[in-house]
């Protein structure tokens, strides 16, 4: 059985994951409008991945006898100044999500819930990868001229 405190914390994270999904979908729309269909596709896949995180967490809460909830999801930004600004925001956001997941692990530890700690470690490992990928793309974008950006758009558009 999951504790009320941990259930609330995971439900808050479910809402945060859904907000992240909406953020990345909004970024996808912006990138498509700017003519970067490959980057838009990559961002749409990122949006779907964040939604999957919410589903996984909800399923876990339910399997532990709790109640999964979706709280109100705030409005996300609708525009950015440049493609580079989008990916700077992605990197900063992934760093924030990493901090939120770390806090969840701390709560599970304080609640002495080893099963939830183990479950959350999968998200910790995934966040390390997501943060590194976002930083890598952002660093490449900072160095890119228009031709390089077009090549990066084509490469990221290949994400399945």
Confidence of residue 29 (pLDDT cuts 50, 70, 90): very high
Helix (H), strand (E) at residue 94: helix 83-110
Q: Where is average pLDDT lowest: 11-15, 134-138, 139-143?
A: 139-143
Residue 149, Cβ density class (10 Å: 0-12 exposed, 13-18 middle, ≥19 buried) = middle
Q: Percent of the chain scored above 90 by pLDDT?
A: 86
Distance (Å, whole) CA 114 – CA 119: 9
The answer to whether 70 touches 78, Cβ cutoff 8 Å, is no
Confidence of residue 43 (pLDDT cuts 50, 70, 90): very high
Distance (Å, whole) CA 47 – CA 41: 10
Distance (Å, whole) CA 66 – CA 3: 8
Reply yes or no on whether the pLDDT at 159 is more than 90: no
Residue 134: which residues within 8 A CB-CB, separation 6 or more? 87, 90, 91, 93, 94
The answer to whether 14 touches 68, Cβ cutoff 8 Å, is yes
pLDDT (mean) for 126-138: 94
CATH of the domain at 40: 1.20.1260.10
The CA angle 19-15-123, to the nearest 5 degrees, is 90
Distance (Å, whole) CA 33 – CA 130: 25
Local structure of 159: helix, strand or coil: coil
Name the residue range of residue 139's domain: 4-156
Distance (Å, whole) CA 155 – CA 16: 29
What residue spans of the chain are helical by DSSP H? 4-33, 37-63, 83-110, 114-143, 146-156
Q: How many domains does the chain fold into? A: 1
In this predicted model, what pLDDT tens digit does every residue of 62-118 receive, in sequence order?
A: 999 999 999 999 999 999 999 999 999 999 999 999 999 999 999 999 999 999 999
């Amino acid at each position: 059985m999951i504790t009320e405190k941990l259930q609330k914390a995971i439900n808050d994270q479910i809402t945060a994951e859904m907000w992240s999904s909406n953020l990345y979908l909004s970024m996808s729309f912006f990138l498509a409008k700017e003519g970067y269909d490959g980057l838009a596709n990559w961002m749409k896949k990122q949006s779907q991945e964040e939604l999957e995180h919410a589903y996984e967490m909800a399923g876990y809460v339910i399997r532990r006898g709790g109640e999964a909830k979706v709280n109100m999801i705030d409005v996300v930004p609708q525009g950015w100044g440049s493609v580079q600004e989008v990916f700077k925001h992605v990197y900063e956001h992934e760093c924030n999500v990493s901090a939120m997941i770390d806090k969840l692990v701390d709560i599970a530890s304080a609640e002495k819930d080893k099963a939830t700690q183990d479950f959350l470690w999968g998200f910790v490992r995934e966040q390390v990868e997501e943060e590194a990928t976002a930083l890598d793309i952002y660093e490449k974008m900072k160095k890119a001229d228009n031709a390089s950006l077009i090549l990066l758009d084509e490469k990221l558009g290949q994400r399945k």
